[in-house]
A and B are shown apart, each in its own frame.
Chain A
Amino acid sequence: MASNINQDCLYSQSHEWVRVEGDTAYAGITDYAQSQLSDIVYVELPEVGTTYAQGDNFAVVESVKAASDCYLSLSGEIIEVNEALESEPELVNSDPYGKGWFVRLAIADASEIEGLMSPSDYAEFVAKAEEEGGH
């Protein structure tokens, strides 16, 4: 099954997305990531005010079978977390680019944005991963 790829987001090789809005960005995990994880039962989010460097482990997604680390694609300070995920972690499955967002951050270094994958690059990347997955 082809994964949904949001055209307004930028992507990482570890299947996280960011959507840049001015000097802030929303971040979450991609449709491909949620479909691989299957039913998500808990998301451990960071505290507002925490500062991360690019590539830092900032959240943990718990699916039925396993706990998986999530990495922040951009350096910055967490200014908002999606509190709805506390009671409805399944939003990550049903709407990964919308209601299933994880955090909003204040971007520390805008130059990092250039290094992220475009939607078309990520589509190619996922197609390759799905081929290797051999479904």
Chain B
Amino acid sequence: MAKTLLYDRHVALDGRMVSFAGWELPVQYAAGPKAEHLAVRAQAGLFDIDHMGQLVVTGPDALPFLQAMLTADIGAIGEGEAGYALLCYADGGVVDDTFVYRLPDRFFIAINASNNEKDTRWLQAHAAGYDVQIVNVSAETYMLALQGPLSAMILAPLCSADISALQHHHAIQATVAGVPGLVSRTGYTGEDGFELYLQADGAVTAWDAIMAAGGPHGLLPIGLAARDSLRFEACMPLYGQELGPDITPLEAGLSWAVDWSKDFCGRDALLKLRLEGAARTLVAFKMLDRGVPRHEYPILSEGEVVGQVTSGMYAPTLDAFLGLGFVPTSLRRPGTEISIGIRDREHRAVVVRKPFYVPAYRRS
């Protein structure tokens, strides 16, 4: 089990360490998951997400190579911008979901911890014929996330560049508390905030500086439980639950991240599915009867099992029991009644519109 460089900080903050994707990470700190969740919605939270992976792709053919491998139009990502894109298998199943940054001299790709080695191998195995170099830089890159409405105010004085004008999904090279890296206005919570890709040996320096600067403003360290409930309320997919080798982007409601006008791995299978119509669709639902829906619980319609819950929990911001899951496409419309099998009893639920929580940057 790998420990991040901030392990001692987590233990000192009463972090309850659990194993996750091969890493020992805090599932929560002293305040508890609910308070941590609400702190990110109202003030700010700091996340150690060093377990996440990163790749750098360079070379004259970097753009055509990534266009061939990823679903979204990578050419449309401007310099200093980031875009969401999926890696698909030839059959349309998902290898991983990624964030692709276009920097002056390279493409920088953020990938999931659990898929770090798989993605690297997958890209390298398809690089024949392209003049590209693919390098996994996870070990020398330390990823922190600072999320919440007060993030910019907390980070600005620590940052060498002016981040107040940095737009959502844009990134700049800068130092944070003197530690060089990439500062990106992105996140996985539905709040304004930043993801920091820092030089690994500066992790403790940057963490301490942000904790000290944010403390007076109500910033809390955030564990994995709140990270999951925050992304869940914003209906952001989690690989292994809403995405996987047996799930296509179309079923998961991610066709907006697919550019049909170019060729890419998986396009033929996805186009066929698009024409035929997917048999199942990911929907959001709200419990009508009290009960907590959880991963892998059955979804029923008229007494028959018709699907499965992918994620479900108590949503702290909305104070409701909510879930995501796959149902037959005919049951996808908001207002459709379904039920969830919780310990051998059916609990009524209703399909609702996604997302549960509209991200701050999407509200006018």
Chain A positions within 8 Å of B, measured between CB atoms, are 38-39, 41-42, 44, 60, 62, 64-65, 67, 86, 135
A74–B231 Cα distance when bound, in Å, is: 42
Contact B28 A38 (CB under 8 A): yes
**Residues B321 and A42 in contact, CB atoms below 8 Å apart:** yes
Tell me which of A39, A62, A67 contacts B33 (CB under 8 A). A39
Q: Mark B257-297, 1 if CB is under 8 A from A, else 0.
A: 00000000000000000000000000000000011101000
Residues of B within 8 A of A65 (CB): 27, 33, 225
Given A62-B314, A64-B313, A65-B225, answer yes or no on A41-B32 (Cβ-Cβ < 8 Å): no
A39 pairs with B292, CB closer than 8 A? no
Q: Which residues of A contact B147 (CB under 8 A)?
A: none
B206 to chain A minimum Cβ distance, whole angstroms, is 26
Pick the residue among B229, B291, B343 that contacts A64 (CB under 8 A). B229
B34 close to A (CB within 8 Å): yes
Is the beta-carbon distance between A41 and B314 smaller than 8 angstroms?
yes
Task: Give CA–CA (A67, B28) in the complex, Å.
Answer: 17
In the bound complex, residues from chain A placing their C-beta under 8 Å from that of B28 are 38
User: Across the interface, which residues of B come within 8 angstroms of A38, CB to CB?
Assistant: 16, 28, 32-33, 225
Instruction: Find the B residue at minimum CB distance from A133.
Output: B16
Q: How many residues of B contact A (CB 8 A)?
A: 17
- Complex contacts, A44 vs chain B, CB 8 Å: 291, 343
Q: Do A67 and B294 have beta carbons less than 8 Å apart?
A: yes
Provide the bound-state CA to CA distance between A67 and B345, in Å: 15
**A-B CB contact pairs (8 Å), 20 listed:** A38-B16, A38-B32, A39-B32, A39-B33, A41-B34, A41-B313, A41-B321, A42-B290, A42-B314, A42-B321, A44-B291, A44-B343, A60-B343, A62-B292, A64-B33, A64-B34, A64-B225, A65-B225, A67-B292, A67-B343
Query: Which residues of B lie under 8 Å from residue A62 when comparing CB positions?
Result: 292, 314
Q: In the bound complex, how far is the Cα of B316 from the Cα of A65, in angstroms?
A: 13
**Complex Cα distance A44/B28, Å?**
24
Apart from A44-B291, A64-B314, what 12 extra A-B contacts exist at CB < 8 Å?
A: A38-B16, A38-B28, A39-B34, A41-B313, A41-B314, A42-B321, A44-B343, A62-B314, A64-B34, A64-B229, A67-B292, A86-B290
Chain B, residue nearest A90 (CB):
B34
A-B pair count, CB < 8 Å, reads 38
Which residue of the partner chain B has the closest CB to A66? B294
Closest B-chain residue to A1, C-beta based? B14
Q: How far is the CA of A44 from the CA of B345 in the complex (A)?
A: 12
Residues of B in contact with A (beta carbons under 8 Å apart): 14, 16, 27-28, 32-34, 225, 229, 290-292, 294, 313-314, 321, 343
Q: How far is the CB of B208 from chain A (nearest CB, A)?
A: 22
B345: nearest residue on chain A (CB-CB)?
A44
Determine the distance from Cα of A39 to Cα of B313 in the docked complex, in whole angstroms: 12
> When A and B form their complex, which 4 residue pairs have the shortest distance between CB atoms, in order from nearest?
A41-B314, A39-B34, A62-B292, A64-B33
Distance between Cα atoms of A60 and B33 in the complex (Å): 20
A42 touches B32 (CB 8 A): no
| Chain A residue with Cβ nearest B343 | A60
What residues on B are CB-neighbors of A67 within 8 Å?
Answer: 292, 294, 343
Output the least CB separation between B169 and chain A (Å). 30
- Which B residues touch A64, using CB under 8 A? 33-34, 225, 229, 313-314
Which residue on B lies nearest to A89, using beta carbons?
A: B314
A57 to B189, CA, bound (A): 37
Set of chain B residues within 8 Å of A86, measured between Cβ atoms: 290
Instruction: Tell me whether B292 and A42 are in contact (CB under 8 A).
Output: yes
Q: Which residues of A contact B314 (CB under 8 A)?
A: 41-42, 62, 64
A38 to B33, CA, bound (A): 8
Q: How far is the CB of B130 from chain A (nearest CB, A)?
A: 43
Chain A nearest Cβ from B334, distance in angstroms? 24
The closest CB in chain A to the CB of B292 belongs to A62
- In whole Å, how far is B304's beta carbon from the nearest beta carbon of chain A? 24
- Alpha-carbon distance A8/B74, docked complex (angstroms): 67
Whole-angstrom distance between the alpha carbons of A62 and B290 in the complex? 11
- For B16, the chain A residues whose CB sits under 8 A away are 38, 135
Report chain B residues within 8 Å CB of A39.
32-34
Contacts of B292 in A (CB 8 A): 41-42, 62, 67
Question: Which one of B229, B290, B294 has the greatest number of beta carbons of chain A within 10 Å?
Answer: B290
CA distance A12 to B104 in the complex (A): 64
Q: Please report the C-alpha to C-alpha distance between residue A36 and residue B291 in the assembled complex, in whole angstroms.
A: 21
Q: How far is the CA of A85 from the CA of B290 in the complex (A)?
A: 12
Closest beta carbon of chain A to B15's beta carbon, Å: 10
Per the bound structure, the CA–CA distance linking A62 and B33 in Å amounts to 13
